[in-house]
Amino acid sequence: MRLVLLGPPGAGKGTQAAKLSNYLGVPRISTGDILRKHVAEGTDLGKKAQAYMDAGKLVPDDLVIAMTERRLRESDARNGFILDGFPRTIAQAEALAKLTPLDMAVNLFLEPEELIKRNTGRRVCPKCDAVYHMLMNAPKKAGVCDRCGSTLTIRADDREEVVRARIETYERQTAPLIKYYRDRGLLREVYASGLIDEIFLRTKEVLKG
C-alpha cells in the first residue's frame, strides 16, 4: 500500500499513521519528524528549516523533496509506505508522482477549533516519537512516555499563535491537494472527530474501496 495522509495540523495524521503502519506492515514516513530530528541534531538542513518551522511556515520545496526522495529510496519503503505530512504543495505532489505511483490519498478533516485544542494539548516523546494529548489521549503516568519511559515535551510549534499560523499555511498551500488527488481519482475522505479507534475503523473502511 502506497498511501498519502492529508489533513490540517492536529487532525490526527501522525496518530492514525502509527496505527496504520502496524496494520499494513509498511513504514510511516513523517516529514515533520524527520525535520525535527535534523533541527535537534543541528544539521545543515535543520539549520535552514528551523526558522520556517518555528513560524508555522512550510520548509522550501527543494529541501523537503530531496529529503523525502532519499527516505523513499530506503529498502523498507520498497513494498509500500504511509506518507504523513508530505506532499504539502502541488510542486511536492508532482515530484512524488514522478517518483512512485500511489494507491490512495486519505484526507482527515476536522473543524478548526478542535484543531487548536488538539495541538495545544499535545505532548510528544523526544526519544520514540510517540504522541499524546494531556486530556484526550493521556499517558498512564503524567508527563512520562508509556512506551519508553522518557519525559514528554511540548513541540516548539504548538504555541497557539503558531498553531493558527500553521492552519493558515495549510489552507493556503496544502488544501489545494484535496482537489489535486480528487481529480486523479485517488482521494478518500475521513471525518477525524471522535475516539482514536473509531477514526481508525473509518480509515480502514475507506482503504477497502
Of the pair 131, 187, the CB lying nearest ligand AP5 is at: 131
> Given the rule CB under 6 A, which residues bind ligand AP5?
7, 9-15, 31-32, 35, 52-53, 56-59, 64, 85-86, 88, 92, 118-119, 121-122, 131-133, 136-137, 157, 166, 194-196, 199
- From the candidates 88, 118, 123, 188, give the one annotated as an active-site residue: 88
Of the pair 69, 157, the CB lying nearest ligand AP5 is at: 157
Note whether 41 and 68 are within 8 A (CB): no
Active site residue 123: no
Give the whole-angstrom CA distance, residue 25 versus residue 90.
28
Helix (H, G, I), strand (E, B) or coil at 188: strand
Closest CB to ligand AP5: residue number: 32
Active site residue 13: yes
Compute CA distances 158 → 40, 118, 121, whole Å. Answer: 16, 9, 8
Active site residue 57: no
Least CB distance to ligand AP5 at residue 129 (A): 10
Q: 87 preceded by cis ω (within 30°)?
A: yes
Note whether 203 and 16 are within 8 A (CB): yes
- From the candidates 155, 159, 164, 204, give the one annotated as an active-site residue: 155
Q: What phi and psi, each to the nearest 5 degrees, are found at residue 59?
A: -70, 140
Least CB distance to ligand AP5 at residue 25 (A): 20
Q: Residues with catalytic annotation?
A: 13, 88, 122, 155, 166
